[in-house]
């Protein structure tokens, strides 16, 4: 370009990574030179040709290697190594060569040797004949690497790529275009959120495979299917998974069946140990490294549960460079800063992965007992295209949305069975969104293995995209209730005080019956409590943490803000210098310097991370003792001991001075640039007094880094700047001492320990207010006796001694010592948008009133000026603040009294609630089986009621059968008595008719006239016999009538018993009741008189039995009548006998009719026979 100051355009070929002219053809792969430090193994040791292996990602090809019989190294299997094609791994070959050299030279105990044990073993390389499918065999140069699959029967592997940035333009041949494409991927995946991402997985579990397949199938029918291939969708879905999700899938061994959770917990603890060793080995390395795009492999045995096999290794060094301490010292400043930047990314990602494993272990392995289960119905959107466009900050396709939540409390005595749990919604318009049916197996007391088998769900909401069920096991009942209540209110869940374990199912499938809103699953989730708790606690308690290690590891239910906050605190404790980024601080003048950080290796040397000038060129510095000609103008890093420096010759330099600047460490990752007072050539004075020295950044930036400590005491230094006009001595160091917390263990001149001023949060807020006051704020000034308001810029001087302000319209500056301020009060706290502050002076100042009123534009300005000025005026405002403190104390006492009353009221409420719960539990234990509980659905309750009614119906059938037998026996007895009575009556009537109706006498009249003298006696005898016979017939008729009445009473009593049985059965219908009423009417009674009929029936039965005994005795004692031959003449009927027979026939017909009605009613009320006693309730 011309000299107009416009930058030159970037060459398009440099951007896309293509040269301006084509390169010369390179050498073939087998002709590549073997770097120094790598041994070339003879090809005769291996079987050829080598077949290609399938991989889950990457561009380099892998080949299966196998030693010939007897050629394998001692103690190794023949397939212990695999071959990686060097054509795509040239830089990786150099990395392993240098790693082999530095790890061997330092011994087995060196830092590089410990790191080499965490990487894959590499014995060397070999030139072997390789073959790919549909290709001819060819000779290739292979790098031998450890075969991770060798010790496994079936291996599940996670490829986790570390670092927020996985590519750098111009680094290891990466073009700008490809670096930009990789940066787009980084910003839209988990790398931008947690610092790493899942790049690939081998042998995923069924739940994750179904989830990925559902996303692929959903996108295959969308409009964007032609832009994204299924392979890209699968990989992008994996890359957006959070660590808690893919670690849960990695530990999913539910295909093993019952007891698989214990195997998963053992694998989790073993992986935690190995990752901890990896973090320790990496942190111990001497100098920062630039390892771009390297990965961590987590391998787990999923083929058998008989043995536990877990492997953690670091690999993929294609974009990495191993740098030794000598090589790092020889690098330029820019290169060193670049390595430090990417090294912190690598350590931050590795530490975050270690933290994720730790919080998964603490909540999955350390719980003593599980009490409550929460079932969450979650919906996952398959919007891959929108997620790729919007970036990692959006939740499309990554963060599921909870649609409903169910609560299930396990019984203390344990048990197993199917339950239907209602799903509660988060909207008042939809309090219930459906139900989910699960089979729960709970141990006694929650100690042991809890299994949850998700079966189906009935939804009342709209159709979901990808529906999954997440089961949360809670240790504490209160945590589960707070989680559910927060969801119903639409708020963020409160931090759990106990352990919480989360596991999820795969996507649900639509039911085969075609019902809308019905989803089915076949997932079995397990939660184990107790077996490995002691081992996990002992392992996790060794973690560095200022708080409780359980509080530093929140569960998966925690909010994103809480997770990020805890992770940062954990990483700061794990690697203290990780966040010590150099930053610029101003000294209050025209100069800017960079923060100086001390080394952590125990040596007496520090790094000066830059000296600069805001207005002029960078200052020229040279080491003490060098000639002026060798002075260097630098703006970077010097590695040095505590040697003095001289101010070199700058670009626009004033008078030559000779100052000796020395840096000392304060022991808290800070250093101070101090001026040697004893060697100052300008004055030649030597200061013998002892002055407390603060950290460099604290002086120049008021309060410095959070948590900065005081430097060493008794150091005769003072702070130096670059010009005399910037030279500042701390004449009143107490002002800054109030801004800094004391160092741990610091003493106050032998008078004891220095008490901290307050909480750390108060210190940060106070420091913020003071900084704002130093920067200045436009305020409205209102003085007594003046109606107008003046717009002024108020500020506190840099030495924190005076309050200054200047009118914005112009004018002289006003200065008021802070010691002259007596009190600072808020006159208007913001009513009507008016924020006013009243400043009361001790004495009337010249040209100033006794009271100043400052009107602020916002509430933040009011708070900053109020808190800041009250702090800066110090003890002078103590007396004026007494009234405020007394008022506050009074308010606090009132508040405490009110809170105590509320507390007592809440305690009473809790007592009543506990009593009510206890009563409900007792009622629940005493209740009948038909009562509905939270574990039974309406359908199951109906089955149970039907089963109970069947048992009652069976019992009633047996009672009815016995009563029918009694009635039939009574009817037979009545029939037998009726037949006997009819026979006797017929015989007597026959004899009487023979007497009354005599046949014609065939004798002659002479013979008839002969016995006339005996006629009167025979007539009297006959009349007497006829009377006796008539009386006997009447007695027999009365007995027959009594028998018939007893028979009617027995039939009526049977009908009453049948009616009572019909009324006791709950399944009796209205027609049956009508038939009962009809039967009662036919029997001559009413339903209301059934009890009286039964009593009459019992009395008549007793009388009938007595009469039967009398008849039997009379029949036995009566003499046998004389034999009379039957008459040959036809018999005739008398008028009385005919009437008696007709009446008797009518009574018999009526009894037969009643008998048929009773039999018909009994047949109608008889239920269907049931041979089985099944109650239909599966929870037996």
What are the structure tokens assigned to 35, written together?
């770097």
Within 10 angstroms of residue 409's Cβ, the number of other Cβ atoms is 15
Say how many domains are in the chain.
5
Asked if 400 and 522 sit in the same domain, the reply is yes
Q: What is the pLDDT of residue 710?
A: 30
Asked if 678 and 801 sit in the same domain, the reply is no
Q: Is residue 476 part of a domain?
A: yes
Q: What is the pLDDT of residue 929?
A: 46
Exposed e or buried b for every residue in 117-149, given b needs 16+ CB within 10 A?
ebbbebbbbbbbebbeeeeeeeebbbbbbbbbb
Q: What is the pLDDT of residue 739?
A: 33
Band of residue 1042 on the pLDDT scale cut at 50, 70, 90: low
Q: Tell me how far CA of residue 343 lies from CA of 321, 339, 346, 455, in angstroms.
A: 12, 6, 5, 48
Asked if 1090 and 1168 sit in the same domain, the reply is yes
Q: What residues contact 688, with CB distance under 8 A and at least 6 apart?
A: 716
Interval 179-202 mean pLDDT: 91
272, pLDDT greater than 80? yes
Q: Is residue 831 part of a domain?
A: yes
Asked if 793 and 860 sit in the same domain, the reply is yes
Which of 76-90, 509-523, 1018-1032 has maximum average pLDDT?
A: 76-90
Choice among 28-32, 327-331, 509-513, 845-849 with the minimum mean pLDDT:
28-32
Chain-centre distance for alpha carbon 370: 14
Within 10 angstroms of residue 349's Cβ, the number of other Cβ atoms is 22
Q: Is residue 191 part of a domain?
A: no
Which of 46-55, 117-126, 169-178, 867-876 has maximum average pLDDT?
A: 117-126
Distance CA 259, CA 867 (A): 61
Within 10 angstroms of residue 1098's Cβ, the number of other Cβ atoms is 11
Q: Is residue 217 part of a domain?
A: no
803 or 1121, greater pLDDT: 803
Band of residue 625 on the pLDDT scale cut at 50, 70, 90: very low
CB 122 within 8 A of CB 84: no
Band of residue 734 on the pLDDT scale cut at 50, 70, 90: very low
> Residue 419: which of 449, 457, 450 has the closest Cα?
457
CB 1134 within 8 A of CB 1034: no
Asked if 405 and 458 sit in the same domain, the reply is yes
Q: What is the pLDDT of residue 639?
A: 32
Q: Please, which residues bridge with residue 434 across strands?
A: 423, 459
Interval 94-100 mean pLDDT: 89
Q: What is the pLDDT of residue 771?
A: 84
- 49: preceding bond cis by omega (within 30 degrees): yes
Task: Give the global pTM.
Answer: 0.55
Q: What is the pLDDT of the chain when averaged over all its residues?
A: 71
* Residues above pLDDT 70, as percent of the chain: 61
Q: Is residue 919 part of a domain?
A: no
539, pLDDT greater than 50? yes
422 or 1083, greater pLDDT: 422
Choice among 528-532, 588-592, 808-812 with the minimum mean pLDDT:
588-592
Asked if 740 and 800 sit in the same domain, the reply is no
Asked if 713 and 843 sit in the same domain, the reply is no
856 or 28, greater pLDDT: 856
Asked if 592 and 704 sit in the same domain, the reply is yes
453, pLDDT greater than 60? yes
Asked if 1100 and 1177 sit in the same domain, the reply is yes
830, pLDDT greater than 70? no
Within 10 angstroms of residue 588's Cβ, the number of other Cβ atoms is 17
Query: Three-class SS of residue 429?
Result: coil
CB 553 within 8 A of CB 366: no
Q: What is the pLDDT of residue 1056?
A: 57
CB 80 within 8 A of CB 146: yes
Of 745, 761, 780, the last residue of a domain is 745
791, pLDDT greater than 90? no
Chain-centre distance for alpha carbon 177: 41
Of 851, 870, 887, the last residue of a domain is 887
Of 887, 913, 933, the last residue of a domain is 887
CB 384 within 8 A of CB 237: yes
Chain-centre distance for alpha carbon 416: 23
Band of residue 751 on the pLDDT scale cut at 50, 70, 90: very low
Residue 780 is part of which domain span?
772-887
Asked if 481 and 526 sit in the same domain, the reply is yes
Q: What is the DSSP string of 351-385?
A: HHHHHHHHHHHHHHH--S---EEEEEEEEE---HH
Give kind and range of the element (H or E) at residue 894: helix 882-926
Distance CA 242, CA 1033 (A): 109
Q: Is residue 409 part of a domain?
A: yes
Band of residue 145 on the pLDDT scale cut at 50, 70, 90: very high
473, pLDDT greater than 90? yes
Asked if 960 and 814 sit in the same domain, the reply is no
Band of residue 17 on the pLDDT scale cut at 50, 70, 90: very low
Choice among 271-275, 513-517, 790-794 with the minimum mean pLDDT:
513-517
Within 10 angstroms of residue 633's Cβ, the number of other Cβ atoms is 14
Which of 9-18, 92-101, 169-178, 364-373 has maximum average pLDDT?
A: 364-373
Q: Is residue 557 part of a domain?
A: no
Interval 723-738 mean pLDDT: 30
Q: What is the pLDDT of residue 438?
A: 95
Count how many residues are written for the chain.
1180
1163 or 414, greater pLDDT: 414
Q: Is residue 497 part of a domain?
A: yes
Q: What is the CATH number of the domain that holds 133?
A: 3.30.200
Q: What residues contact 487, with CB distance under 8 A and at least 6 apart?
A: 402, 405, 424, 426, 493
Report pLDDT digits (tens) over 886-941. Answer: 777 888 888 898 898 888 888 888 888 888 898 888 877 766 544 444 455 566 67
Q: What is the pLDDT of residue 420?
A: 93
* Residues above pLDDT 90, as percent of the chain: 23
CB 437 within 8 A of CB 954: no
Asked if 597 and 495 sit in the same domain, the reply is no
Q: What is the CATH number of the domain that holds 862?
A: 2.30.29.30
Q: What is the pLDDT of residue 480?
A: 93
Report pLDDT digits (tens) over 330-388. Answer: 999 888 988 999 999 999 999 999 999 999 999 999 999 999 999 999 988 776 656 66
Q: What is the DSSP string of 1121-1159?
A: PPP-PPPSSPP---HHHHHHHHHHHHHHHHHHHHHHHHH
Q: What residues contact 540, with CB distance under 8 A and at least 6 apart?
A: 358, 361, 362, 366, 549, 553
1126 or 903, greater pLDDT: 903
Q: What is the pLDDT of residue 833?
A: 65
């Amino acid at each position: 370009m011309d000299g107009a100051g416009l930058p030159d355009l970037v060459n398009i070929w440099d951007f896309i990574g293509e040269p301006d002219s084509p390169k010369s053809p390179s050498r073939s792969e087998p002709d590549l030179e073997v770097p120094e430090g790598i041994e070339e193994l003879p090809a005769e040791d291996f079987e050829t040709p080598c077949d290609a292996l399938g991989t889950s990602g990457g561009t380099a090809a892998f080949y299966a290697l196998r030693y010939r019989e007897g050629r394998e190294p001692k103690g190794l299997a023949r397939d212990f190594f695999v071959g990686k094609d060097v054509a795509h791994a040239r830089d990786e070959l150099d990395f392993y060569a240098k790693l082999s050299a530095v790890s061997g030279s330092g011994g087995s105990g060196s830092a590089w040797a410990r790191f080499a044990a965490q990487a894959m073993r590499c014995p060397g390389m070999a030139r072997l004949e390789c073959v790919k499918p549909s290709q001819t065999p060819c000779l290739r140069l292979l790098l031998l690497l450890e075969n991770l699959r060798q010790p496994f029967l079936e291996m599940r592997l996670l490829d986790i790529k570390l670092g927020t940035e996985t590519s750098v333009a111009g680094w290891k041949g990466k073009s700008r275009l490809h670096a930009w494409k990789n940066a787009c991927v980084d910003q839209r995946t988990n790398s931008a959120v947690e610092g790493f991402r899942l790049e690939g997985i081998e042998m995923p579990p069924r739940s994750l495979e179904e989830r990925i397949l559902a996303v692929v199938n959903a996108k295959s029918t969308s409009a964007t299917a032609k832009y994204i291939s299924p392979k890209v969708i699968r990989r992008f879905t994996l890359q957006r998974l959070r660590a808690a999700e893919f670690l849960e899938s990695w530990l999913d061994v539910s295909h093993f069946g019952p007891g698989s959770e214990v195997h998963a917990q053992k694998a989790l603890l073993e992986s935690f140990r190995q990752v901890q060793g990896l973090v320790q080995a990496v942190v111990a390395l001497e100098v920062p490294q630039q390892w771009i795009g390297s990965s961590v492999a987590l391998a787990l045995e999923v083929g058998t549960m008989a043995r536990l096999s877990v492997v953690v290794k670091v690999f993929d060094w294609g974009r990495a460079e191993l740098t030794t301490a000598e090589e790092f010292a020889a690098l330029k400043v820019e290169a060193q800063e670049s390595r430090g930047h990417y090294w912190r990314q690598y350590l931050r990602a590795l530490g975050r992965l270690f933290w994720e494993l730790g919080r998964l272990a603490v909540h999955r392995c350390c719980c003593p007992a599980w009490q409550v289960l929460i079932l969450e119905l979650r919906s996952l959107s398959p919007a891959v295209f929108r997620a790729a466009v919007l970036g990692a900050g959006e939740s499309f396709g990554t963060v599921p949305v909870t649609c409903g939540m169910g609560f299930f409390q396990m019984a203390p005595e344990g048990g197993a069975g199917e339950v239907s749990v209602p799903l509660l919604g988060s909207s008042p318009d939809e309090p219930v969104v459906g139900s989910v049916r699960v089979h729960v197996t709970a141990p006694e007391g929650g100690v042991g293995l809890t299994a949850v088998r998700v079966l189906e769900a009935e939804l009342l909401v709209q159709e979901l995209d990808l529906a999954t069920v997440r089961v949360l096991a809670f240790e504490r009942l209160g945590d589960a209730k707070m989680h559910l209540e927060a969801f119903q209110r639409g708020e963020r869940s409160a931090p759990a005080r106990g352990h919480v374990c989360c596991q999820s199912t795969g996507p649900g499938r639509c039911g085969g019956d075609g019902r809308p809103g019905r989803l089915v699953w076949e997932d079995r989730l397990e939660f184990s409590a107790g077996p490995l708790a002691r081992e996990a606690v002992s392992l996790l308690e060794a973690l560095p943490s200022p708080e409780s290690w359980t509080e530093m590891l929140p569960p998966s239910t925690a909010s994103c803000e809480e997770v990020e906050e805890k992770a940062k605190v954990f990483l700061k404790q794990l690697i203290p210098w990780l966040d010590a980024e150099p930053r610029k601080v101003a000294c209050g003048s025209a100069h800017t310097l960079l923060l100086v950080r001390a080394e952590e290796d125990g040596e007496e040397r520090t790094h000066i991370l830059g000296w600069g000038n805001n207005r002029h060129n960078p200052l020229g510095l040279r080491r003490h003792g060098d000639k002026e000609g060798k002075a260097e103008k630098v703006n970077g890093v010097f590695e040095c001991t505590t040697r003095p420096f001289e101010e070199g010759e700058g670009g626009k330099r004033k008078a030559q001075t000779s100052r000796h600047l020395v840096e000392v460490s304060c022991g808290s990752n800070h250093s101070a640039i101090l001026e040697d007072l004893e060697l100052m050539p300008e004055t030649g004075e030597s200061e013998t007094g002892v002055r407390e020295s603060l950290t460099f950044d604290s002086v120049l930036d008021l309060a410095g880094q959070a948590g900065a400590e005081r430097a060493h005491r008794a150091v005769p230094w003072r702070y130096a700047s670059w010009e005399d006009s910037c030279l500042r001595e701390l004449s009143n160091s107490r002002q800054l001492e109030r801004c800094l917390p004391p160092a741990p263990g610091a003493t106050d001149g032998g008078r004891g320990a220095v008490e901290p001023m307050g909480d750390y949060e108060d210190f940060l807020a106070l420091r913020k207010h003071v900084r704002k006051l130093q920067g200045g704020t436009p305020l409205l000034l209102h003085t007594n006796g003046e109606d107008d308001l003046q717009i002024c810029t108020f500020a506190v001087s840099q030495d924190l001694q005076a309050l200054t302000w200047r009118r914005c319209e112009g004018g002289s500056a006003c200065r008021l010592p802070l010691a002259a301020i007596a009190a600072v009060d808020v006159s208007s706290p913001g009513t009507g948008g008016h924020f006013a502050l009243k400043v009361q002076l001790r004495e009337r100042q010249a040209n100033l009133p006794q009271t100043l009123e400052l009107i602020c534009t916002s509430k933040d300005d009011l708070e900053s000026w109020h808190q800041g000025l009250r702090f800066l005026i110090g003890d002078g405002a103590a007396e004026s603040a007494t009234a405020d403190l007394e008022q506050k104390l009074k308010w606090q006492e009132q508040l405490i009294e009110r809170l105590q009353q509320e507390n007592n009221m809440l305690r009473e409420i809790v007592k009543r609630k506990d009593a009510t719960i206890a009563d409900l539990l007792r009622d629940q234990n005493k209740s009948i089986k038909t009562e509905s509980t939270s574990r039974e659905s309406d359908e199951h309750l109906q089955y149970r009621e039907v089963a109970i009614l069947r048992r009652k119906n069976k019992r009633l059938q047996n009672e009815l059968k016995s009563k029918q037998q009694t009635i039939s026996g009574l009817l037979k007895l009545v029939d037998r008595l009726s037949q006997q009575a009819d026979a006797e009556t017929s015989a007597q009537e026959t004899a009487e008719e023979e007497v009354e109706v005599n046949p014609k006498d065939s004798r002659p009249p002479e013979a008839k006239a002969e016995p006339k003298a005996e006629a009167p006696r025979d007539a009297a005898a006959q009349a007497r016999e006829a009377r006796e016979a008539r009386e006997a017939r009447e007695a027999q008729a009365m007995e027959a009538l009594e028998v018939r009445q007893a028979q009617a009473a027995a039939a009526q009593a049977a009908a009453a018993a049948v009616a009572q049985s019909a009324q006791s059965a709950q399944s009796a219908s209205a027609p049956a009741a009508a038939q009962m009423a009809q039967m009662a009417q036919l029997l001559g009674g009413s339903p209301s008189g059934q009890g009286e009929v039964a009593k009459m029936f019992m009395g008549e039965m007793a009388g009938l039995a007595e009469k039967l005994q009398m008849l039997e005795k009379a029949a036995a004692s009566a003499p046998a009548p004389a034999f009379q031959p039957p008459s040959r003449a036809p018999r005739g009927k008398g008028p009385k006998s005919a009437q008696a027979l007709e009446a008797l026939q009518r009574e018999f017909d009526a009894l037969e009719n009643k008998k048929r009605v009773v039999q018909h009613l009994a047949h109608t009320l008889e239920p269907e026979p049931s041979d089985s006693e099944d109650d239909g309730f599966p929870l037996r």
